[in-house]
Amino acid sequence: MRLVMSLALTILAASVLGCDAKPPPATTEAEAQATQTNTAAVPATNPGQTQVVFLGTGTPLPDPDRAGPSTAVVVNGSAYLFDTGAGVVRRAMAAARNGIPALNSVNLKTAFLTHLHSDHTLGLPDLILTPWVMGRQEPLELYGPVGTAAMTKGIQAAWAEDIDRRLNDLQPSPAHGYQVNVHEIAPGVVLKDDNVTITAIPVPHGPWIAFGYKIDTADRSIVISGDTRPTPALAEACKQCDLLIMEVYTLGSTARVTPAWKAYREAYHVSTKEVAEIAKQSRPKLLVLYHRANPGCDQAGTDCRGTGSEAEALAEIKQFYDGPVIEAHDLDVR
């Protein structure tokens, strides 16, 4: 039974559309390794074992090898998604083809947003609509900061005509699979069910309301930073956790950006040295870098001379931290 300690708002597209579909009852509540590849995914041999699947490890840079940020935690055949970057549904289907059926599009029913920056949410319309078109019966359960409800309402309004035609024209479509139950969350436990206890961790990210997440299952403890400045809350949440999944930028690339971009990095993100300090304090079994940001180097007209790479990030981390560390790639499974 789910215990939701949050403020929930059910967004029903039927009311936006004025169509005849009957909505469900409203819910209310206030290392990079040389052998790693972009397509390798090895499912856990034990079906009950918790799997962490990196669906997208990218940034705003439109890198064809890295989809937008999204991480799936799969437990007992249920998938919990953290962020919905561009390409999330197709990466999920690739993971399903690689032997993780919980990530078939119709099984994508629960998602958590760290914050509402576009690179973390561009795949949200896809997650709302594509699984429904493919046959998802239930509304999407979506957890995120204040503003998630307004974003969802806007998405459904933008696709109002499409939803109306699919419901009321000749195409047979499930009655409720396009709907979204939005839970606008506060720090603390936001979901507890038979598989997971998920705790929202407030993190600093400029003026954004932003969260990292701790996911506790029967066999593993996982902490995902989202976008953040250094904060003791992440080290406190991890405390020798199995996986500490951290965003990062490199010191080498920061030395080549403009003063304005350096100020942005320092106000919004976390450097390799700062990630190493968090890892030293928390001592995870494995530190995993993802969402390696390179703002001020990726934009048009900039030239950082190849700095900000995976190799640079790992080399810098290892100057300050002696524990195991890797960088994740899309469709890696840990």
3-state helix, strand, coil in the chain (%, to 5): 30, 25, 45
pLDDT category at 12 given cuts 50, 70, 90 is very low
pLDDT at 203: 98
- Annotated active-site residue 119? The verdict is yes
Q: Please give the pLDDT value at position 227.
A: 98
pLDDT at 47: 57
- Evaluate whether residue 334 is within a structural domain: no
Specify if 190 maps to a domain: yes
Model confidence at 190: pLDDT above 80? yes
Counting the structural domains of the chain, the total is: 1
Alpha carbon distance 215, 175 (integer Å): 31
Q: Considering the domain boundaries, does residue 109 fall inside one?
A: yes
- Burial bucket for residue 275 (CB in 10 Å: 0-12, 13-18, 19+): buried
Query: How far, in whole angstroms, is CA 10 from its chain's centroid?
Result: 21
- To the nearest whole number, what is the mean pLDDT of the chain? 89
Mean pLDDT confidence for 273-288: 98
pLDDT score of 41: 41
pLDDT value of residue 98: 97
Does residue 332 lie within any of the structural domains? no
Distance of CA 186 to the CA centre of its chain: 17
DSSP structure class, residue 103: G
Domain residues for the domain of 321 are: 7-327
Q: Which range is least confidently modeled, 38-42, 92-96, 184-188, 200-204?
A: 38-42
- Banded model confidence at residue 305, pLDDT cuts 50, 70, 90: very high
Which of 119, 126, 216, 242 does the annotation list as catalytic? 119
Q: What is the pLDDT of residues 61-90, one digit of tens each?
A: 999 999 999 999 999 999 999 999 999 999
Rounded to whole angstroms, how far apart are CA atoms 304 and 282?
32
- On whether residue 193 sits in a domain, the answer given is yes
Q: Is the pLDDT of residue 283 over 90?
A: yes
**pLDDT of residue 313 exceeding 80:** yes
- Mean pLDDT is lowest, of 22-36, 257-271, 304-318, for 22-36
Q: Is residue 316 part of a domain?
A: yes
pTM of the model: 0.87
Q: What does the pLDDT read at residue 46?
A: 59
The answer, yes or no, to whether residue 35 has pLDDT greater than 50, is no
Q: What are phi and psi of 130, to 5 degrees?
A: -60, -50
Question: Which tens digit of pLDDT belongs to each residue from 132-145?
Answer: 999 999 999 999 99
Residue 271 above 50 pLDDT? yes
CB 245 within 8 A of CB 328: yes
Residue 150, in any domain of the structure = yes
Considering only residues 96 and 171, tell me which one the structure prediction assigns the higher pLDDT.
96
Confidence at 19, pLDDT banded by 50, 70, 90: very low
Residue 20: inside a domain, yes or no? yes
CB atoms within 10 A of CB 190: 23
What is the pLDDT averaged over residues 149-171? 97
* 6, pLDDT greater than 60: no
Q: From 195, 194, 130, 198, select the one nearest 163 (Cα to Cα).
A: 130
Q: What pLDDT is recorded for position 300?
A: 95
| Minimum mean pLDDT range among 18-22, 213-217, 314-318 | 18-22
Q: For 103-115, what is the mean pLDDT? A: 98
Question: In the prediction, which pLDDT does 43 show?
Answer: 46
Contact 25, 181 (CB under 8 A): no
State what percent of residues in the chain have pLDDT above 90: 85
What is the predicted pLDDT for the residue at 22?
Answer: 37
- In this structure, what CATH number is given to the domain that contains residue 69? 3.60.15.10
What average pLDDT does the segment 313-333 reach?
Answer: 98
pLDDT for residue 39? 36
Q: Confidence band (pLDDT; 50, 70, 90) for 319? A: very high
Maximum CA pair distance of the chain?
62
